[in-house]
Structure formats: C-alpha cells, structure tokens
Amino acid sequence: MIRAEVAQELRRRGIRVTAQRMAVAEAILGGHEHLTVQEIYQRVKERFPHITIGTIYNTLEVLTSSGIVQPLPFPRGTKYDTNMEPHINLVCIRCGHIEDVRDEEGLLQRLAQEASHCSGYRTVSHHMDIYGFCPRCSS
C-alpha cells in the first residue's frame, strides 16, 4: 500500500488525514517490515521531533482498525506487519528477525475455515507464527 492509498482509505472512513498519521504510515510501509513501536517512534521523530509515543499508539490503533497494518503481539512488545495477505511469520527466536512466507496452496485459509466451521465461531482473521532459528543464526 502506498501513501495516496492510505490517505484515501482514511478519508473514506471519515478519519482525519494529518501529517503525523501519514508519517507513521510511511515509516511502517516504507520498506522495512515488522517494526516495533519504539522503532516507528524513532523514525517518525526524525520528521516530527515533538511527536510523542502517545500519538504513535493512537495512530497505530487508527491504522489497525482501518485494515492498513496488523499488530503482532510478542512477549516484549507489539510489532507491526504491513503484509495484509494471508501468510505465515517465521520468527527467529535468537535474533528476532521475522520473515513472511506466502500461503501458496491456501492451506492457512482452509485450516481457518474448517476450524471455524466445526466450532461455531464467526471468524474474522487469523495469524500463524513459526518459531525457530533463521539461516544466519543456525550456524
């Protein structure tokens, strides 16, 4: 997703498009994925030195409920994912690096459908992590 699309999506939802919100969105969407809240804060502060962590949290909540980013809960804080396609997060338990793996065969979807079907849950979203050692940390 790019800048113009973010602005459009916010407007469509009647949410104000502010410079700070766009800066947060660009920090996350611009290349580097899976940033922590602190990392986002540090980046946005380069452009808005007076912005506070409260505004970052506020904006992340807005972007999340607008379907633009996705929070990934971890023991030591939330990271944000910009990949809204169904996918799996490969998490390195040594260095913390996260890699996305696309769900080529649609197995994730199938699994989610089946599970919700036989449980009576009305499914909204799902999330899969695999923990292990990345190639670099394996050696």
Partner DNA sequence: TTTACTGCAAAGGGTTTGCATGAGG
Partner DNA sequence: CCTCATGCAAACCCTTTGCAGTAAA
Residues that bind DNA (CB under 7 A): 11, 15-21, 36-38, 48, 50-55, 57-59, 61-62, 75-78
If one asks whether residue 88 binds a second copy (CB under 8 A), the answer comes out as yes
Q: Which is nearer to DNA, 75 or 135 (CB)?
A: 75
Query: Could you tell me the maximum CA-CA distance found in the chain, to the nearest angstrom?
Result: 51
Question: Residue 101 is inside which H or E element, if any?
Answer: strand 98-102
* Closest approach of a second copy to the CB of residue 46, in Å: 27
Q: Which is nearer to a second copy, 23 or 68 (CB)?
A: 68
81 contacts 64 by C-beta, under 8 angstroms = no
Q: Which is nearer to a second copy, 45 or 127 (CB)?
A: 127
* Angstrom distance (rounded) from CA 13 to CA 87: 26
3-state SS string for 28-66: HHCCCCCEEHHHHHHHHHHHCCCCCHHHHHHHHHHHHHC
Q: Which is nearer to a second copy, 18 or 38 (CB)?
A: 38
Could you give the C-alpha distances from 83 to 14, 33, 55, 125, 132, in angstroms and in order? 24, 8, 23, 13, 21
Q: Among a second copy, DNA, none, what does residue 138 contact (CB within 5–8 Å per kind)?
A: a second copy
Q: Among a second copy, DNA, none, what does residue 62 contact (CB within 5–8 Å per kind)?
A: DNA
Provide the binding-site residues for a second copy, judged by CB under 8 A: 71, 73-75, 78, 88, 90, 92-93, 99, 101, 103, 107-108, 110-112, 115-116, 118-135, 138
